[in-house]
A and B are shown apart, each in its own frame.
Chain A
Amino acid sequence: MRLAMRNRAFLFFSMIMPLVFLFIYAGILGRGNPEALPYLLADVLALTVMGSFWGLSVQLVTFREQGILRRFRVAPIGASAMLASSIISNYVLTIPTVLIEFYLSRKLFHMSGMGNLIAVATLLTLGIVTFATLGLVIASVTNTMQETQIINQILWFGFLFLSGATIPFPSLPRAIQRVAYFLPATYLVSGLQQSMSVVDPVKISELGLDLASMIGCTIIAFVVAAQLFRWEPEAKTPRRAKLWAAGAIIPFILLGIWENKYEHVRARAMSDYQTIERTSPPDPAMPSR
């Protein structure tokens, strides 16, 4: 069952913010270096995808607080259907942003290659769904909008700065890299970066673990969100529920432990980064046309 729950305000935010990032990145950092562009676009795409969790958590909490969910409760529609439909509508709304970002990168900034398109599409799809579901879990364990916003801020901060989406992963201190291995965002960013690389795009099979973790995380998160779903504005989450929510990131804890041991992500990020460093124009003062 599909609900076309449109909210133009969310559309605005999820569209404008990543585009601003795209211009900053591509226009300033990647000036005249078409080799680096896919790498930067990957960061912007990752931010777009991660925005899903913010949008959906706020939307669900708003609907609950305003008593909108109560009205749905009287209709023959279950919690899972509500959640699934919001994930689907979020997906449909995010895709145009992604396409515009691709289009602008090609037209305005003359990005040449596309990398491994199948891997990119898979990562984007799974990424949007995973982060959307995580957003729903946040909504299901927070009692007020204020609480939701605080948790979102903390997570967003982590996703933004530790994942490699803003600060290149290889230039993060070792200790922070180790922490970042536990964040779903790190895998999304590194996966996107590598599959978009023009020089040496990664094969989808090499991303198996990352993708499996996302799928695992989505499934657990969805079940938790459906279990903890509350229709009533005054219903509070039991404290125990917050532990349940933590269960959703189990796949990434496992993956994090594994990564801490073998450090594949770091190795891959390092080599990509070096490729880009090498191909950077030697003199930034030179006009590059």
Chain B
Amino acid sequence: MDTAVIEVQNLTKRYGDVEALRGVSFSVSEGEVFGLLGPNGAGKTSTVEILEGLRTPDSGRASVCGLDPQRSGAEFKYIIGAALQSTALPDKMRVREALDLFGSFYPRRRGTAELLKRFGLEEKRNAFYSQLSGGQKQRLALAMALVNDPRVVFLDEPTAGLDPQVRREIYDIIEELKKEKKTILLTTHYIEEAERLCDRVAIVDHGKVIALGTPRELKGRSGAVTRITVRMARPEANGALGKLEGVSECRAEADDYLLYSTRVPRTIVALVKHLEEQNNELVSLEIAAPSLEDIFLELTGRRLRD
């Protein structure tokens, strides 16, 4: 195994009465894209900000490339790049100026022109920060995170609040960084993002890592439960559906029934038989291999977007 670039052990952090982190541990290898997935308030940002050196943990250990983010000075800042959850700049700062200014802090830097081109900001080079759209601001934040050509990049909710089109643009950028073998720690509450971008994902909830692995592993671990979404002409008490062959769990959600099955073919046959007996009709049927969303639901009993 390659060496761990980011190591986090048993981090705890409390803000007044709120326990934001209750013992978070994980490690990230060189060149890996690691995702922290969880709902708002799960502790993702606290974890990332401890690793960036912006916050001090109450207990536990965090290290990046063997350095302590809280105690190390410039040498630590030279190797990291960060896009904060909300990057703010003076309204009257121009795009080009921001990149030049932040670039000037580092001994090793990427050219402003190159970054502008890469992040599609060439036309906006002389625009004030306040004139940029949300997507452009986010692209600038990413460009700024890369001015020093860092080894480790922290991206805290890089696509939050952006429309799908812009989000996909950001994905492309992150995938390119992945090709450059940068180590990336990314937080998100979008399943799609974690599945598409991350080599490994830690699902975080209430300040704890509740599951960790590659997206594939995580899906496999849920006992290979496949979700069957059924809509019937006439709703019925879900007790009966839950007793069908292979069904481990049944939930009612709006007009749909979600059946979690370990033996899909048998369940389908049993379902059709059951509907015939009841003289009921099938309106729609959907079979989905487990997604991270399901894993999350299974682990926490809640949906991510709750």
Contact = CB atoms under 8 A, between A and B. Distances in A.
A and B co-occur in one complex: yes
B89 A74 contact: no
Contacts of A7: 90, 92
Contact of A74 (B73, B80, B88, B101): B80
B292 interface: no
B106 interface: yes
B300 to A, nearest CB: 28
A173 B162 CA distance: 63
A232 B15 CA distance: 14
A66 interface: yes
Closest 4 CB pairs of A and B: A76-B77, A76-B74, A67-B88, A74-B82
Interface in A95-119: none
Of A9, A66, A76, A232, which is in contact with the most chain B CB atoms at under 10 Å from its CB? A76
Interface in B74-88: 74, 77-78, 80, 82, 84, 86-88
Contacts of A219: none
Contacts of A68: 88-90
Interface string A71-84: 10111110000000
B97 A74 contact: no
A74 B90 contact: no
Nearest to A69: B88
Nearest to B145: A74
B104 interface: yes
A5 B101 CA distance: 9
Given A1-B104, A74-B80, A8 B54 contact: no
Interface of B: 52-54, 73-74, 77-78, 80, 82, 84, 86-90, 92-93, 97, 101-102, 104-106, 144
A9 B91 CA distance: 11
Nearest to B129: A68
A202 to B, nearest CB: 41
A70 interface: yes
B129 to A, nearest CB: 10
B92 A4 contact: no
B90 A70 contact: no
Of A1, A4, A8, A74, which is in contact with the most chain B CB atoms at under 10 Å from its CB? A74
Contacts of B102: 75
B54 A70 contact: yes
B90 A5 contact: yes
Contacts of B80: 74
Of B89, B106, B144, which is in contact with the most chain A CB atoms at under 10 Å from its CB? B89
Nearest to A66: B88
B84 A70 contact: yes
B153 to A, nearest CB: 11
Which secondary structure dominates where chain B touches chain A? loop
Contacts, number: 52
Contacts of A258: none
A76 B104 contact: no
B88 A76 contact: no
A8 B84 contact: no
A157 interface: no
A251 B73 CA distance: 34
A254 interface: no
Contacts of A63: 90
5 contacts: A5-B90, A7-B92, A68-B89, A70-B84, A74-B54
Interface residues of A, number: 21
A212 interface: no
A9 B93 CA distance: 12
Given A1-B104, A3-B101, A4-B101, A74 B52 contact: yes
B14 to A, nearest CB: 15
A174 interface: no
A203 interface: no
A8 B86 contact: no
Contacts of A236: none
Given A1-B104, A1-B105, A3-B101, A8 B92 contact: yes
Contact of B87 (A3, A5, A71, A231): A71
Contacts of A66: 88
Contacts of A264: none
A63 B90 CA distance: 7
Of A9, A63, A67, A71, which is in contact with the most chain B CB atoms at under 10 Å from its CB? A71
A164 to B, nearest CB: 35
Nearest to B80: A74
Contacts of B82: 74
Given A6-B92, A9-B92, A75 B105 contact: yes
Contact of A4 (B52, B73, B89, B97): B97
Nearest to B82: A74
Nearest to A234: B15
Nearest to A231: B54
Interface string A263-289: 000000000000000000000000000
A3 B102 CA distance: 9
B77 to A, nearest CB: 4
A6 B98 CA distance: 11
B73 A76 contact: yes
B186 to A, nearest CB: 16
